[in-house]
């Protein structure tokens, strides 16, 4: 049986454009050599190819790893919520009925917390509008919105356009029977949206701002954003400090006893921690001080194994027949490694949003702790340590399938620092050059791909036509390179990330699951 190593170069897409392309600007002697000497193709990693509503929607690491790991395309994130809203199913769900009834019975407030953008990676502002309209229709009298500013999945300084859209929607809804206001907010990388237990202080700060109204007061969200931009020149939306909207010295939207609270985000990784802080009865990570008794729900259930949160509005995709399960059923030993920032992607998301393993005996997971610093300051991140771990796994002869993720292109790309991202891409190339030596010594097959683009498109024109930093993912295809397997011949046609699973098992001589998409090779 052929053993396979699969490397995911997170955020390193393919584009022929030169301007703003950190992948082309980087010195990548190994990748250059592989492109000139190995079979390769380009895969779709966005839009309908990964289960999103349209090909205008950027891919992301979660849906990307779902597609790679399960070998098929499921309705994901925004598409799943869209379908539930369009059908009205979300408004007949037991959770929605319970939260609305709670507000009506207690004459209390419904709160919405979430990322305010249409990036379709974590949330979509249209979902907030639909829930606000339905809240008013069903007799709720007060709504408060706690906005998290994006600038990561959308243009870096676009927050005011989304705030304006929300204020316009509220002005249409507000009357003597309905009172809707923005209550608090802050940048997604400063408050609330931590992941993988990397920085619980972000969550505590967000909790205090949203729930307690503890923060810097402003009369409007627009005032807050404009003030911070004047005080911190060059700051992008994702890094804006937290703020509280107040009238006459009093917060307009503290979360209080008997209120209902909905977390609008549909993506799980950056929703789990704040869900725990808001909903867990015996929460003890930080002091919550007289935590109000509320009804809480997520847009989706973000962790099915740990039931976080217990109540949610939309059932997540029920992903079955994953690559890991297929291999476990055939006694194949697997190893997965990344640093903290993407560890969940090669484990939880890869395994179909499953936290645990299919087999403790056959699956080994290793997490390399990420540095808690801005990624543009150390763009090499933990690439050397991840490479060390992969090489050790190869040399151990214990594993038949090894997978890893290098987060550099994505995490550093999101900072908007072009020169740091060049270094990040070069660090991945260097790590690959070390791994390939071990692959050669053991005569394995190495597959190299990415989950979406980012580092490949880092500049975009503003309204004046001037180039400005781009921090969002790109719509570009991603490479799929086959090294060390001379028998592999790539088919003609258009393929996506979901075609990788059957390619892996075909190279290993195991056939494929009948539910999977076809292999990329003949």
Strands 250-251 and 40-44 turn out to be unpaired
Residue by residue, DSSP assigns 273-305 as: HHHHHHH-TT--SS--SS----EEEEEE-SBTT
480 preceded by a cis bond (ω within 30 of 0): no
Give the separation between CA 484 and CA 12, rounded to whole angstroms.
Answer: 22
Alpha carbons 460 and 70: distance in angstroms, whole number: 33
Residue in this structure with the two tokens 């500049």, named with its chain if needed: 459
Residues comprising the chain, all counted: 522
Quote the distance between the C-alpha of residue 364 and its chain's center. Answer: 23
Any bridge partners for residue 9, and if so which? 406
User: DSSP assignment, residue 406?
Assistant: E
In the DSSP assignment, the letter for residue 146 is: E
The DSSP element (H or E) to which 224 belongs, if any, is helix 221-231
* Strand 459-461, strand 40-44: pairing: unpaired
**Which of 61, 59, 43 is closest to 408 using CA atoms?**
61
Spatial distance between the Cα atoms of 75 and 386, rounded to a whole number of angstroms: 32
- R_g of the chain computed on alpha carbons: 23
Tokens 């990397």, residue located? 198
What residues are paired with 42 via a beta bridge? 479
Q: State the Cα–Cα distance between residues 287 and 300, nearest whole angstrom.
A: 26
C-beta of residue 221 within 8 angstroms of C-beta of residue 182: yes
Q: Which helix (H) or strand (E) holds 517?
A: none
**C-alpha distances in Å from residue 328, one per residue of 284, 344, 374, 393:** 36, 19, 38, 18
**Rounded Cα gap, residues 131 and 139, in angstroms:** 12
Q: Which residues are catalytic?
A: 61
C-alpha 212/C-alpha 403 separation (Å) is 43
**Can you name the residues that pair with 145 across neighbouring β-strands?**
112, 182
Burial class (CB in 10 A: 0-12, 13-18, 19+), 87: exposed
């Amino acid at each position: 049986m052929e053993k396979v190593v699969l490397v995911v170069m997170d955020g390193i897409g393919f584009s022929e454009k030169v301007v703003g392309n950190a992948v082309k600007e980087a010195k990548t002697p190994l990748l250059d050599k592989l492109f000139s000497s190995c079979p390769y193709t380009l895969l779709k990693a966005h839009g309908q190819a990964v289960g999103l509503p349209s090909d205008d929607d950027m891919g992301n690491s979660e849906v990307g790893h779902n597609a790679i790991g399960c070998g098929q395309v499921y309705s994901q994130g925004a598409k799943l919520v869209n379908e539930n809203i369009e059908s009205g199913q979300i408004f007949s769900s037991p959770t929605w009925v319970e939260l609305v009834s709670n507000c009506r019975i207690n004459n209390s407030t419904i709160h919405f917390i979430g990322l305010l953008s249409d990036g379709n990676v974590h949330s979509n502002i249209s979902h907030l509008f639909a829930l606000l309209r339905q809240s008013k229709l069903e007799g709720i009298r007060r709504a408060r919105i706690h906005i998290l500013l994006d600038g990561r999945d959308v243009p870096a300084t676009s927050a005011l356009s989304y705030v304006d859209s929300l204020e316009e929607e509220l002005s249409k809804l507000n009357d003597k029977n309905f009172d809707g206001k923005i209550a608090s907010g802050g940048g997604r990388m400063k408050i609330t949206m931590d992941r993988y237990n990397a920085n619980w202080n972000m969550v505590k700060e967000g909790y205090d701002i949203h729930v307690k109204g503890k923060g810097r007061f402003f009369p409007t969200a627009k005032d807050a954003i404009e003030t911070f931009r004047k005080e911190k020149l060059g700051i992008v939306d994702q890094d804006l400090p937290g703020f509280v909207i107040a009238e006459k010295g009093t917060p307009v939207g503290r979360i209080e006893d008997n209120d209902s609270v909905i977390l609008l985000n549909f993506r799980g990784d950056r929703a789990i921690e704040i869900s725990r802080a808001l909903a867990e009865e015996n929460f003890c990570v930080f002091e919550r001080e007289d935590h109000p008794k509320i009804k809480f729900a997520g847009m989706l259930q973000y962790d099915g194994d740990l039931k976080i949160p217990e109540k949610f509005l939309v059932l997540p995709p029920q992903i079955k027949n994953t690559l890991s399960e297929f291999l476990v059923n055939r006694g194949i030993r697997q190893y997965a490694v990344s640093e903290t920032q993407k560890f969940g992607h090669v484990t939880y998301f890869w395994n179909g949003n499953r936290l645990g393993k299919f087999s403790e005996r056959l699956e080994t997971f290793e997490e390399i702790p990420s540095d808690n610093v801005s990624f543009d300051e150390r763009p090499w991140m933990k690439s050397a340590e991840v490479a060390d771990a992969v090489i050790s796994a190869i040399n151990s002869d214990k594993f038949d399938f090894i997978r890893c993720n290098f987060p550099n292109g994505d995490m550093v790309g999101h900072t908007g620092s072009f020169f740091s991202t060049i270094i990040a891409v070069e660090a991945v190339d260097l790590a690959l050059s070390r791994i390939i030596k071990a692959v050669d010594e053991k005569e394995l097959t190495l597959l190299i791909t990415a989950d979406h683009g980012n580092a490949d498109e880092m500049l975009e024109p503003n309204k004046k036509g001037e180039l400005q930093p781009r921090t969002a993912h790109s719509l570009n295809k991603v490479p799929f390179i086959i090294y060390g397997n001379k028998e592999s011949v790539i088919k003609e046609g258009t393929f996506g990330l979901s075609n990788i699973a059957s390619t892996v098992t075909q190279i290993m001589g195991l056939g494929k699951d009948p539910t999977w998409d076809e292999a990329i090779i003949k």
